[in-house]
């Protein structure tokens, strides 16, 4: 049994702004189920939702401040949660990173700098709790200083740093280094300095014993200028300590057999019942109820990263085909307006819901025939996995986690029962349109389509599988295998 301190700025269901929370809510639970001694540490935000008892654990003095550590646990799990309680920094309403206008909190460097210092104190057992981790597992820029600060300690735990999205780096003015009282050993271009700025993410990339990303393909992509955001040289330099482990999905939450949000539950052996969800989805989106017409679904942030512009460029040609299209999402106002305009012009073909609705998201996954996901980049992605679990065939671009989780339908993959989607290469509307046409041809061959659905539904996207890979990584780092 290994002792693991899991460091994150968000974890579902405690607090969530995006995919980071889903991973950090699920992976510690999956590791605990593999009999590991795991504790999760997170700031005690005002918006944190705790359902279990919260108790005072200890107090730590750092930078002439007294910081309390509170203890609770993750709902429905044995994972202990340590809350870093410092109201002056964390007792803010709403989002952990930005104010109600969407602007980053002005003292984010100090807030997450203090959080990292507290993590180091706990990791070195200077709170005298008689618990010292073997592994400290950090996630994204908010915990990036932890591996850097631990590098200054003797007899320190091993460190793992997971990149969920390279686009967010935690960059601050150079003067912040003095403000955070960072050691001169860390403040140089080979350390935390990045083009005369302080980079939190570099703390993880330079100093962690091992770096992971949330898919093997994304681990390769971030070593290129297109996806590396100026850090591709450093990542290439550290590539022997860099690898990708695909995220899992919550198999209880996303299960067509038991899903309470859908009109009709079904399994791989009762796939014919899926059409009742399609009829319900068509009704909900005020589209003509027709079982024979292929129904495309999309649930997404409406931003360029997700390839929404490519879909908009394809829609005029798609309208000429026999198809329907439903969309749930919000984001760039320009995209919202253009999509709404198309829906108003073609109400029997296109229907749009701006916003987010969890129950509707589940119904789209169950009721659509085809799920569109033409992302420009996608570190891991979850919807393509949800779709396959629901027998909804994903159309994806070959990037990041999409490349690692969807197998293109070709004669070879059909014959060996791995075909589970449609994959295209280029981030262009022409390539997307060709993929859509190929999908419609396959849809018109019911036997082939059903084979693809069955292959997709039988895939293993469990967190246990991912947790076992992380455990193997930890054991490798510690230089022993568990008895």
Q: Among 59, 87, 53, 89, which residue's Cα sits nearest to residue 71?
A: 53
Contact 54, 20 (CB under 8 A): no
The distance from CA 84 to its chain's CA centroid, rounded to whole angstroms, is 23
Q: What confidence tens digit (pLDDT) does each residue in 78-100 have? A: 899 999 999 999 998 888 998 88
Q: Which residue has the tokens 């693991």?
A: 4
The pLDDT value given to residue 18: 80
Q: Flag whether pLDDT at 385 surpasses 70.
A: yes
Given pLDDT bands bounded at 50, 70 and 90, which one contains residue 459? very high
Q: Among 28, 10, 243, 17, which residue's Cα sits nearest to residue 136?
A: 28
CA 215 – CA 276 distance, rounded (Å): 34
Mean pLDDT throughout 227-236? 95
The pLDDT value given to residue 483: 30
CA 397 – CA 159 distance, rounded (Å): 33
Q: Which long-range contacts (CB under 8 A, 24 or more apart) does 127-131 make?
A: 127/57, 127/58, 127/60, 127/69, 128/58, 129/57, 129/58, 131/3, 131/39
The percent of residues in the chain predicted with pLDDT above 70, rounded, is 99
The pLDDT value given to residue 414: 96
Given pLDDT bands bounded at 50, 70 and 90, which one contains residue 358? confident
Please give the CATH architecture assigned to the domain spanning 268-460.
3-Layer(aba) Sandwich (3.40)
Q: What confidence tens digit (pLDDT) does each residue in 174-190 have? A: 999 999 999 999 999 99
Q: Flag whether pLDDT at 141 surpasses 80.
A: yes
Q: DSSP for 163-221? A: ES-TT---EEETHHHHHTT--TTT-STTTTEETTEEEHHHHHHHH-SEEEESSHHHHHH
Task: Say which CATH class 3-248+464-478 falls into.
Answer: alpha beta
Where along the chain do its domains lie? 3-248+464-478, 268-460
Q: Flag whether pLDDT at 388 surpasses 80.
A: yes
Given pLDDT bands bounded at 50, 70 and 90, which one contains residue 481? very low
Do the domains at 3-248+464-478 and 268-460 have one common CATH topology? yes
Q: What confidence tens digit (pLDDT) does each residue in 6-59 have? A: 999 999 889 988 889 989 999 999 999 999 999 999 999 999 999 889 999 999
Mean pLDDT throughout 441-451? 97
Q: What confidence tens digit (pLDDT) does each residue in 250-285 have? A: 898 899 999 999 999 999 999 999 999 999 999 999
Mean pLDDT throughout 127-147? 97
């Amino acid at each position: 049994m290994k002792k693991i301190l899991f460091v994150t700025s968000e974890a579902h269901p405690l607090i969530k702004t995006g995919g980071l929370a889903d991973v950090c809510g699920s992976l510690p639970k999956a590791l605990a189920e593999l009999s590991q001694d795991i504790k999760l540490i997170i700031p005690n935000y005002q918006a944190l939702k705790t359902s279990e008892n919260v108790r005072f654990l200890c107090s730590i003095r750092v930078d002439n401040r007294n910081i309390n550590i509170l203890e609770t646990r993750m709902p429905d799990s044995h994972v202990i949660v340590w809350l870093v309680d410092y109201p002056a920094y964390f007792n803010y309403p709403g989002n952990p990173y930005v104010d109600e206008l969407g602007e980053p909190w002005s003292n984010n460097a100090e807030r997450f700098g203090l959080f990292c210092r507290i993590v180091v104190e706990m990791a070195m057992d200077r709170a005298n709790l008689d618990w010292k981790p073997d592994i400290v597992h950090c996630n994204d820029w908010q915990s990036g200083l932890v591996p850097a600060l631990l590098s200054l300690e003797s007899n320190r735990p091993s460190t793992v740093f997971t990149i969920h999205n390279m686009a967010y780096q935690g960059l601050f003015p150079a003067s912040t280094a003095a403000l955070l009282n960072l050691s001169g050993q860390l403040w140089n271009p080979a350390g935390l300095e990045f083009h005369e700025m302080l980079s939190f993410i570099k703390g993880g990339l330079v100093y962690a014993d091992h770096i992971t990303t949330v898919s093997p393909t994304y681990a390769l992509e971030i070593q290129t200028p297109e996806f590396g955001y100026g850090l591709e040289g450093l990542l290439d330099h550290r590539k022997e300590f860099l690898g990708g482990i695909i995220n899992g999905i919550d198999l209880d939450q996303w299960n067509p057999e038991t899903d309470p949000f859908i009109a009709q539950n079904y399994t791989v052996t009762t796939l014919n019942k899926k059409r009742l969800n399609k009829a319900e989805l068509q009704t909900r989106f005020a589209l003509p109820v027709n079982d024979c017409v292929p129904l495309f679904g999309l649930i997404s942030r409406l931003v360029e990263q997700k390839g929404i512009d490519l879909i908009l460029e394809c829609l005029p040609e798609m309208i000429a085909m026999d198809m329907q299209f439903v969309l749930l999402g919000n984001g760039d106002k320009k995209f919202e307006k253009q999509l709404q305009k198309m829906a108003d012009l073609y109400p029997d073909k296109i229907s749009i819901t701006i916003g987010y609705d969890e129950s509707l998201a589940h119904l789209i996954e169950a009721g659509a025939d085809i799920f569109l996901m033409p992302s420009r980049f996608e570190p891991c992605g979850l919807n393509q996995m949800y779709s396959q679990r629901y027998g909804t065939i994903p159309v994806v671009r070959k990037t990041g986690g999409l490349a690692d989780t969807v197998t293109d339908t070709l004669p070879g993959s059909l014959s060996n029962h791995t075909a589970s989607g449609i994959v295209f290469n280029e981030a262009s509307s022409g390539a997307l349109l060709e993929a859509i046409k190929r999908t419609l041809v396959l849809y018109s061959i019911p036997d082939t389509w059903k084979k693809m659905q069955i292959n997709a539904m039988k895939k293993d996207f469990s967190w246990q599988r991912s947790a076992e890979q992380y455990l193997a990584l930890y054991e490798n780092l510690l230089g022993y295998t568990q008895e």
